[in-house]
Structure 1
Amino acid sequence: MSCPDMKTFLELTAITERLVNAILVDQIYFWQYEFQGICHQEFIILLPHTNKQFITEAKPLVGTVMSMYSHFRHKLYYANEVRNSIREGGIAFFFRCQPDNLLYINFEANYVALSNKLSPQGVFKRANEAFEMEKQKIKNFSDGAQFYMDRGNYQLCAFMLHQVFELCYRMAEIVLLGKEKLSHSIRNHHQIALAYVPQLKLVFDRNDEKDMTMMELLDSAYLSVRYENGYYITERQLLYLADKSQTLQELMEKACGDMLEAFGTALNTVTK
């Protein structure tokens, strides 16, 4: 993290103090970085896993604190969740939770995000392996969509396309943010990823009525095809979504590849 200017430093100090007074917290990190020409400033707030405070209870309190600082993003996680993710190749968390980014630590915490026994190269290797696995999953569902399209089973084709979209977004969330959002809503995933990959407007533009209608049709495919019998979609609509899915795959694979390449280049800054 580059050294913040005095104004930012004072804001970080004030936010940290307010957060510590508002919730039970183990660690607070602040990471400032540039990706695809956009400067990102993020708070990563790690909570203890305790029945004294659940993450759903902490979120509105943190939201109140951060409402005065809309230029900063913030994410809440359980500390043990982040630690386990890093062990499994969570390279985004690995860089966010570097000691240089630490603003606050509770010395009575049961978990710290980074273990001294972790090999940065090992984390990076597992991150790349996970990326390749996610790409293969996406390809399998894409092939499945084509299979059902060729056989005229438009409902199952739509379901497979929904999975292609969802897995693309989840892949990007893991690589770019550290953790995917547990949601089947394409709209939700798109909104999250758009802040980091602005080219996603080429896939779904919220100012384009047709795009929003098609997103809604895609979103309804998951529940409707699985649990209902009334889902209807035309071949033309499927071809439109299939074309969008190819654009999404290309954008997400490039964004994730670029981010992993940047992480790989930066490894020497944490291995000295």
Structure 2
Amino acid sequence: MPGASLINGVAGNLLSIEDRGLAYGDGLFETIAVHNGRAQLLDLHLQRLQQSCLRLAIHIDRAALNLEIIDILKSAQPQGCDVLKIIITRQSGQRGYAYADGTSNRLLQLKPNTTNYAALQEQGVRLRFCTTPLAVNPQLAGMKHLCRLENVLARAEWHDECIYEGLMLDTQGFVTEGVMSNIFLVKDGMLSTPHLDRCGVAGVMRECILSQLAPKLQLVVSVDRLLPEHIHNADELFICNSVIGIVPVTAVAAFNKNIGETTRLLQQAMHDALYV
């Protein structure tokens, strides 16, 4: 598959076996939609990355990263869709969990996107609940760190092609997120999404909805502790991330859902903000 990759600004795909991202998952990543050569919601992605690096005491050379993003986007399809993945890992140092300093490696990879997300956004998708729980750990909550084994185990729970995504609960039974997405519900005209202060990934599209799209549409929105029954009783549901956009949910297990007006309004606002 055509594409491009950079490691610390140099074309290539080889990394030291001693890299702490490989050894311990000691690092972070961002997955960014690229449309017609432009990285979508790039400021929000870099803001989350910077904040997470500060929390993990990983030093990131933002000036170098910015130049590398410009460089690798030159390989993007001029009239197409690509996906840019940025991985930041803490560089190898002394043996063991302790680290000498917070210097980092920057890995960038650009690949064409061949999935028809427009069809998913129009038709909607079916979900299921996963049995793999998310551990509660506020120190890691919200970050898109490299330790994603819970999500790997959750995704292995189903092979039915009719199911697009699984919803994950934390160890106390609260709905937290999808395996690779965030979840929103609409009930009596109010938009709600789970708290992510104890676990889960604070997605960039989720942040865009909360801080930009919902206020623009004057939608009432809340961040709550949600239980499975809230999902079952919702008037509308949709999932989101920065690559798939906003995708309606037509069923969760045996509970069918309609694609409602609020979901369509948010989809149109997203399209107007990103593609017009």
- TM surpasses 0.5: no
Structure with the larger strand share: 2
Q: TM-score, normalised by structure 1?
A: 0.29
The structure, 1 or 2, with the larger RCO (C-alpha pairs under 8 Å, 6+ apart) is 2
Q: TM-score, normalised by structure 2?
A: 0.28
- The structure that has the greater radius of gyration is 1
Structure with the larger helix share: 1
